[in-house]
Amino acid sequence: MLGLGKKDLGLLAAVAALTLLAPFLLNPFPSDSSLAQFNAGYPDLMQRFVIFGIFAIGFNILFGLTGYLSFGHAAFLGVGSYAAVWMFKLLTMNVIPAIILSVIVAGLFALLIGFISLRRSGIYFAILTLAFAQMSFALAYSVLTPITNGETGLQIALDDPRILGVSATADGSIPVTHLFGLEMRATEILNLGPWQFQFSAGYYLCAAIMLAAFYLSIRIFRSPFGMMLRAVKSNQQRLYYTGLNARPYTLAAFVISGMYAGLAGGLLASMDPLAGAERMQWTASGEVVLMTILGGAGTLIGPVLGAGFIKYFENIFSKLNDNVLHGWFAFLPDGLENAVVAIIHPFVGKGWHLTLGLMFMLVVIFLPGGLVEGGQRIGRLFRRKRGSEERAAQQTPAE
pLDDT in tens, 64-102: 999 999 998 999 999 999 999 999 999 999 999 999 999
Instruction: Give the whole-angstrom CA distance, residue 10 versus residue 333.
Output: 52
Which pLDDT does position 396 carry in this prediction? Answer: 57
Whether the predicted pLDDT of 17 surpasses 90: yes
Instruction: Give the whole-angstrom CA distance, residue 245 versus residue 349.
Output: 50
Instruction: Give the whole-angstrom CA distance, residue 95 versus residue 284.
Output: 24
Question: How does residue 35 score in pLDDT terms, banded at 50, 70 and 90?
Answer: confident
Which residue in 111, 149, 359, 86 sits closest to 251, CA to CA?
111
Which pLDDT does position 378 carry in this prediction? Answer: 86
φ, ψ of residue 308 to 5 degrees: the values are: -65, -40
Which residue in 280, 275, 277 sits closest to 88, CA to CA?
275
Whether the predicted pLDDT of 385 surpasses 80: no
Q: Are 299 and 369 in contact (CB under 8 A)?
A: yes
The 10 Å Cβ neighbour count of residue 62 is 27
Instruction: Give the whole-angstrom CA distance, residue 25 versus residue 15.
Output: 13
Which pLDDT does position 230 carry in this prediction? Answer: 93
Whether the predicted pLDDT of 383 surpasses 70: yes
Whether the predicted pLDDT of 398 surpasses 60: no
The percent of residues above 70 in pLDDT, for the chain, comes to 98
Instruction: Give the whole-angstrom CA distance, residue 104 versus residue 129.
Output: 19
The residue-averaged pLDDT of 365-391 equals 82
Q: Between the CA of residue 364 and those of 297, 361, 371, 376, what are the distances in Å?
A: 11, 5, 10, 16
The 10 Å Cβ neighbour count of residue 7 is 9
Whether the predicted pLDDT of 399 surpasses 60: no
The residue-averaged pLDDT of 274-296 equals 89
Instruction: Give the whole-angstrom CA distance, residue 203 versus residue 22.
Output: 10
Whether the predicted pLDDT of 40 surpasses 90: no
Question: How does residue 395 score in pLDDT terms, banded at 50, 70 and 90?
Answer: low
Average pLDDT, the chain: 89
Question: Torsion-angle region of residue 92: left (phi > 0), alpha (psi -120 to 50) or beta?
Answer: beta
Question: How does residue 21 score in pLDDT terms, banded at 50, 70 and 90?
Answer: very high
Q: Between the CA of residue 7 and those of 12, 160, 218, 311, 375, what are the distances in Å?
A: 9, 49, 11, 28, 16
**DSSP characters for 233-288?**
HHHHHHHHHTT---HHHHHHHHHHHHHHHHHHHHHHHHHS-EE-GGGGSHHHHHHH
pLDDT in tens, 164-185: 888 888 888 888 999 998 999 9
Domain boundaries, the chain: 6-25+41-280
pLDDT in tens, 111-155: 999 999 999 888 999 999 999 999 999 999 988 998 999 888 899
Which pLDDT does position 397 carry in this prediction? Answer: 56
The percent of residues above 90 in pLDDT, for the chain, comes to 49
DSSP H/E element including 294 = helix 282-295
**DSSP 8-state secondary structure symbol assigned to residue 223:** S
